[in-house]
Amino acid sequence: MGEEDPAYYVLKEDTPPCIFGSIEKQRWSYACAKQLIERLIYAEGAENGLDFSIVRPFNWIGPRMDFIPGIDGPSEGVPRVLACFSNNLLRREPLKLVDGGQSQRTFVYIKDAIDAVLLMIENPHRANGHIFNVGNPNNEVTVRQLAEVMTKVYTKVSGEPALESPTIDVSSKEFYSEGYDDSDKRIPDMTLINRQLGWNPKTSLWDLLESTLTYQHRTYAEA
Active site residues: 30
> Any residues with CB less than 8 A from the CB of 51 and at least 6 apart, and which?
45, 124, 128, 129
The CA distance from 197 to 178, in Å, is 42
Is the CB of residue 204 less than 8 Å from the CB of residue 107? no
Handedness of CA 86, 90, 96, 102 (dihedral sign): positive
Is the CB of residue 97 less than 8 Å from the CB of residue 147? yes
Amino acid 78 reads V
Name residue 97's beta-bridge partners.
169
* DSSP assignments along 149-174, one per residue: HHHHHHHHHH-PPPPSS-EEEE-HHH
Q: In whole angstroms, what separates CA 76 from the centre of its chain?
A: 21
Q: What is the C-alpha end-to-end distance of the chain, expressed in Å?
A: 48
- What 8-state DSSP symbol labels residue 16? -
